[in-house]
Every structure is written in structure tokens, then in C-alpha cells.
Amino acid sequence: MFPTHRPRRLRRTPAVRRLVAETSVAPRQLVLPMFVKEGVSAPVPIASMPGVVQHDLDSLRRAAVEAVEAGVGGLMLFGVPAVRDAVGSAGTDPDGILNRALTAVAAEVGDATVLMADCCLDEFTDHGHCGLLAADGSVDNDATLTAYRELAVAQARAGAQVVGPSGMMDGQVAAIREALDEAAFADTAILAYSAKYTSAFYGPFRDAVESQLSGDRRTYQQDPANAREALREVTLDLAEGADAVMIKPAMSYLDVVRQVAEIADVPVAAYQISGEYSMIEAAAAQGWLDRRSAVLETLTSIRRAGADIVLTYWAVEAARWLRED
């Protein structure tokens, strides 16, 4: 008896495998997160994220051009201010580091890529939370919405084509959409961090933005145990006018990415976060796995799960590999 079915026929050669591949990754689907630090004159390496830096404005502009030349689809900017306060005023200040960076990158690359801004207060507050604090120390949801409105308009005015509210405040998309429309930024899109989970894998990112957080964000970020709740959050954001939705982290939540992709009628993004990046870099540095193969496999898995857009710190390098292939 010989096998009647031989699936291996479709794996025989690289050409056959390319022909029948069900999932692909293209440079245009990748977004590069970038950090820009106030008060420095050269890039500052981030020890817990090998290969990633806090840029100064000049190096940020150069890196943006490099990303465009590699074919990367977008850039997501995060600011690291020199001075923080309780209300995150550096975020709305036109001379704040993130807004100056948005203006600089917009002038450098124009419409050659999609310029995005993280629309959250955590980088700018002296307590490290994503919102304003009430007298009892809790995060005041509705007061924070007012702050987000001002933050989003400031970022759009500085040059952001897309704002990414990541604070997981109830009603944040509706509040930001209304504010942008009232300020004549109706064309500025919202990439909603709709399902952002409390995760142990954020550690290196907090080094990158020099987070002042003490405690945790469990009262507003999602419980890792919950998937149906993510669908509720996504449904609410869609109803409030989100132009795209995001799941964060990506690799530990591929089931959520799949479920969201099945219900969303807008593009779905997933963020391959700092800890996911750093653990692969650490294993590769030890020679425990092949770095290039591991990176491309993880990106393919995120796309296979249903993500149309992947935020990844490997965006430029992966884009070059993909173009070579």
C-alpha cells in the first residue's frame, strides 16, 4: 500500500513553496516604533533592547529616511522628555520632544511613509500612568479623556497622520475623534490600541521611555486571561470611529488577533513588543537559534493570525530581508 495523498508534493522546491504559500509578509505591512529623547546630541543605546536606541532629532531624521528607503509602511514615534509632571504637559507642548520630532520627520519624509504618534500620557507623567490621577491615586478616566483630546490635536498639528491612543481609557476613541474633527483634522486617522493587555513583556519598553511607573496598570489594561473582553473593546472602538484597531502584545495573543480579524471591518494591527523582541535577540546572541529565521517566522505567524499591520522593532531589517528574498 502506498499513500493516496502526498502533501509533500507541494513542498518539493522553493518555487513550489512560494507558489502555494498561504501567508506572506511585505515591507509595506511593517511599522517601525522609534524613540526620541530630549536633551541628547547622539543616539543612546537601550541596554535591554540590543540594536534599538533613543534617538536625538538628527539621528531620528536619518533613521526615518532609512526606513522609507527600506520600504517600511509606517513609523510610530514615542517621546522621552527631560522634564515630567503630574499631567504630562510635555505631551501637548508644541516645543515638547515628541511634537518637535513629528514636525522634523514630517518635513524630512513627507508622505513617503505614514507618520504615527503614540497618543498617551505615560511617557510624560511623573507617576508613569497612562492617565491623570484622582485624589485617591486612581486613574481618572473622564479627566484623562480631556487630556487625550488636547494631546491628539497637538500631535496632529505637529504632523502626525495617525494618532494611536494606547491608554485603554473607556471612550478614548470617541473623545479623540470629536476633538480632531472640531480642530479641522478630520483626515487624521485613529489607530486604536483596542486590546492592550497587562503584560510582563513590556519591561524593556519601560527602559526605552524611562518610565516613572510605580505599581501596575491592571485597572485599565486587559487581563491576559480574557479574550471575549477584547472583542467587546474592539467593538466599542469601531463604534466610536476607530480607523484601525490593534492588539498588543502580538505573539502571546495570536488567538485574540485571529478573533479580532474575524469581526473587524477595518485594518487590524498587532504590536510585537519589546520583550518579544529582546528575548529573541538574547537567544540569538547565545547561538540558541537562527536570528533571521526566528524573526521572519514570528512576523509570518502574526500575519497568519490575521494582522494586516505589524509594529516591530525589526521593521527595517526585516524589510531588507524580504526585498532580498
Q: Which residues are catalytic?
A: 196, 248
3-state secondary structure of 197: strand
In this structure, of 169-183, 210-224, 260-274, the range with the lowest mean pLDDT score is 210-224
Mean pLDDT of the chain: 96
pLDDT number for residue 319: 98
Residue type, position 209, single letter: V
Question: 259-286: string of b/e by CB count within 10 Å (b at 16+)?
Answer: bbbeebebbbbbbbbbbbbbebbeebee
List the domain boundaries for the chain.
23-244
pLDDT tens sequence across 103-125? 999 999 999 999 999 999 999 99
Sign of the dihedral through C-alpha 189, 178, 158, 154:
negative
DSSP 8-state code for residue 172? H
pLDDT band at 41 (very low <50, low <70, confident <90, very high): very high
- Per-residue pLDDT, averaged over 57-62, amounts to 98
The 10s digit of each residue's pLDDT in 223-263 is 999 999 999 999 999 999 999 999 999 999 999 999 999 99
pLDDT at position 214 over 80: no
Segments in the chain forming alpha helices (H): 14-20, 57-70, 97-109, 141-158, 172-182, 203-208, 228-240, 254-263, 274-285, 291-305, 315-324
Q: How confident is the model at residue 213 (pLDDT cuts 50, 70, 90)?
A: confident
Does residue 210 surpass a pLDDT of 90? no
pLDDT at site 193: 96
Q: Would you say the C-alpha torsion 247, 310, 152, 177 has a positive or negative sign?
A: negative
Residue 107: predicted pLDDT: 98
pTM of structure: 0.95
Is it true that the peptide bond before 249 is cis, omega within 30 degrees of 0? yes
User: What pLDDT does residue 105 have?
Assistant: 98
Local confidence band at 137 (pLDDT 50, 70, 90 cut-offs): very high
pLDDT of residue 1: 78
Q: Using a pLDDT cut of 90, give the percent of the chain over it.
A: 93
The pLDDT-based confidence of 28 (bands split at 50, 70, 90) is very high
HSE, side-chain direction, 13 A CA sphere, residue 97? 25
Average pLDDT over residues 38-54: 96
Query: Does residue 215 have a pLDDT over 80?
Result: no
Task: Quote the CATH superfamily of domain 23-244.
Answer: Aldolase class I (3.20.20.70)
Number of Cβ within a 10 Å radius of residue 106: 16
pLDDT of residue 278 exceeding 80: yes
Checking if the pLDDT of 271 tops 80, the result is yes
